[in-house]
Structure formats: C-alpha cells, structure tokens
Amino acid sequence: MLKVINVVGARPNFMKVAPVVGAMRRRAREFQSLVVHTGQHYDAQMSDAFFRDLELPAPDIHLGVGSGTHAAQTANVMLRFEPVVARERPDWVLVVGDVNSTLACALVCAKLCVPVAHVEAGLRSRDRTMPEEINRVLTDQIADLLLTPSPDADENLRAEGIPPERIRLVGNVMIDSLYAHLERAKASPVRAQLGVNGQPYAVVTLHRPANVDDRTTLAGVLSALVELSAQLPVVFPVHPRTRERLAEFGLLDQIDARAPRLRVLEPLGYLDFLRLMSGAKLVLTDSGGLQEETTALGIPCLTLRANTERPITVTHGTNRVIGTDPARIISAARAALAHPPASRPPLWDGQAADRILNALQQAVGSRR
C-alpha cells in the first residue's frame, strides 16, 4: 500500500485533488490517502463550500496559513508542512497546479528526499511576471514525477531538459471533476434564481492581479461588460479580491447605475457555478481552469489575458486569448456568439485520476 499526502491550498486545487482522493478511496487496498489543506484560501466561500460540493473528505490536517505576501505565504507553508512530512513519512506527496502551496510543499519534499508528484505539470505561459509561472517552472524542476494534462506540456518539459522517464501523460484531472458532477449540478436552482433559465447569457470571472489591481485595466474591462450586457445578461460572480478593488476604485456604483443586466454576485459554490457556467453562451475569464472546462463543454471562452499556459484550449478547443482592450473584448464576444467553435483534446475523458494512481505505482516499482 502507498501512503500519499494530497496537498490542497487554493480553490483551483480542490477540483484537481477531489477525483484523485476519490480514486484512492475506491482503491483503498492500494492507497492510503491523507489530505493536507494549507489554508492558502481561508475564506469559507472559497474553501469550505467546495469541499462539500466536491464530496472531498474534511482535511486530515489543516495548516491554517492564511494570507500574506508571496514570500511570507510560501515560507509559512514550508514551516508548517515540514513537520507533517517528517511525522507521516509518506511514499508520495502529490501537489497540484501552480499556487504558492504547490511550490512550498514541493520544496519541503525535495529537502527531505520525499518523492513528490506534480499534477498538471508542464504548462507554460512564458510570462515570468505571473507568480504562477514561477511556481510551475520551479515545481517541475524538483518534482520526481511530472503528470501532464496534454502533449504540449510533455514537449515543454523535454525542452527544459526533464528526463522522459519522469514524465507521464495522464490527461486533465479537472475534467474528471467536471464530468463527475454535471448531473448533480442540475439540481442547483441558480439559473432560475438569477432569471436566466432558458435564455442566452454570459458568465464572467476575474481575479488575476494584472487585471484587477490596475484601475484603468479593470475599468476598461468593466466598460466592455456593460456594453455586452446590452446584448445579453452578463453574470459576474466576484472574487473577494476583485470586489475589494471595485469598491476601492469606486466602480461598483457605476455597474448598478449603467447596467441593470450586469449581475454582480458573491462567489458561488462549485455545483452552483458549474450549473451556471454549463448553460452559458459565452464565458469571459482570466482563469486557467475555466479555459479547460469550457473547452470540454464546447462553450466559447474569451481569455482576458495576453497569454495562456493552456494553448491546447486554443488549438483544440473553444478558447481565444484576447487581452483586456475593451473594443477587442466586444468584437470577440460578438464573433464568438455568432460562430461558436467546438472540440475536445485527447485524454480529457474523466479517467485521469486512475491514470495518476497507476503512474504513482509504476514509478515506485521502477525505483525499487
């Protein structure tokens, strides 16, 4: 039996870890699973509701790190995670995605010579101003097993000199969560509550500092959303960071006054958001995960960034990377509504979690 610590820190991690933990519970004779929550996302709306919706067991260990600068948060995770690893002595530590907790826990394992596997390895935006890009690159350099979602990620790792024996193409585990919960999400009343059931509407998410911390950029995106809302309702569940900036910049009042069909909401739980997103005619986002989910569901997606670490969603999917210029957002939105594309990358089939577990077993066999 393999003892595996599964690390979660921020909301994007939860959808990737839930299928893996579920697969370990089904294969309980082969795997012992521990869930460690670093507490990087500590708001109940950003954490507890997702554990419930994804049927994740309560964390076995909660580090309670909370907020801070990138350096402080990373350091605090390391300080609190190290004694956990030393005490539990796992066969593997599984880290996912690209948040500060991912890198912090991988560094602890590298120093303690404990094998670490990185789920969603090999993704690259080529933009070193993104903290996530630094976390991705460094985690991949020190992880023992790199579990990739798509062939382009394998190519990135080989180009960086990673030995092929450390790389395993397993597919996109986030799509496992998507397919597993689509049926359950149908019970959510969120569309009816918002008055968009049975009609076209768009969904927006924004949280990246480059988009929300600069008043000019945020105001420009908001002006495009206001204009788009004249064509169809636009539903905007607002990340806590984004809401703080909207209030700080005096932009919330403008929404209420100028755009009655631009609906600004509190963050939604996973099932409510999945129900809302899966019925949208268009999604506008700066989230990496939403680029993937919309590709899997065939929903047009406009990525409000200058680049993406998920180019397969552009070449094989429904995504377009358009930046934050208001005029371009409007023209791209109208084009996407008129001519929606549709396709799905290989191995985005809902079976990635079992391929991950098989890869962990095979890697242990090879070491022995």
Work out the burial of residue 161: count CB atoms within 10 Å of its CB; fewer than 13 is exposed, 13-18 middle, 19 or more buried: exposed
Are both 72 and 192 inside the same structural domain? no
- Residues found in the chain: 368
What residues contact 181, with CB distance under 8 A and at least 6 apart?
53, 54, 270, 271, 274
Instruction: Please tell me whether residues 38 and 155 are part of one structural domain.
Output: yes
Q: Is residue 241 part of a domain?
A: yes
109 and 41 in a single domain? The answer is: yes
Judge if 319 and 363 occupy the same domain. Answer: no
Q: Is residue 180 part of a domain?
A: no
CATH classification of the domain holding 208: 3.40.50.2000
Q: How many helices (H) and strands (E) does the chain have?
A: 17, 13
Q: Quote the strand ranges of 251-333, DSSP E.
A: 262-265, 282-285, 301-303, 319-321
Please check whether residues 123 and 224 belong to one and the same domain: no
From first to last of its 368 residues, the chain has per-residue pLDDT tens of 999 999 999 888 999 999 999 999 999 999 999 999 998 766 665 567 778 888 888 899 999 988 889 999 999 999 999 999 999 999 999 999 999 999 999 999 999 999 999 999 999 999 999 999 999 999 999 999 999 999 999 999 999 999 999 999 999 999 999 999 999 999 999 999 999 999 999 999 999 999 999 999 999 999 999 999 999 999 999 988 899 999 999 998 777 667 889 999 999 999 999 999 999 999 999 999 999 999 999 999 999 999 999 999 999 889 999 999 999 999 999 999 998 776 678 889 999 999 999 999 999 866 64
Residue 179 located in a structural domain: no
Enzyme catalytic residues: 207
In a domain, 210, yes or no: yes
Question: Residue 265 belongs to what domain range?
Answer: 187-338
Assess if residue 182 is contained within a domain: no
Total number of domains constituting the chain? 2
Same-domain check for residues 105 and 195: no
Domain match, 331 and 354 both: no
**One domain, residues 23 and 160:** yes
pTM of the prediction?
0.90
Residue 316 and residue 357 share a domain? no
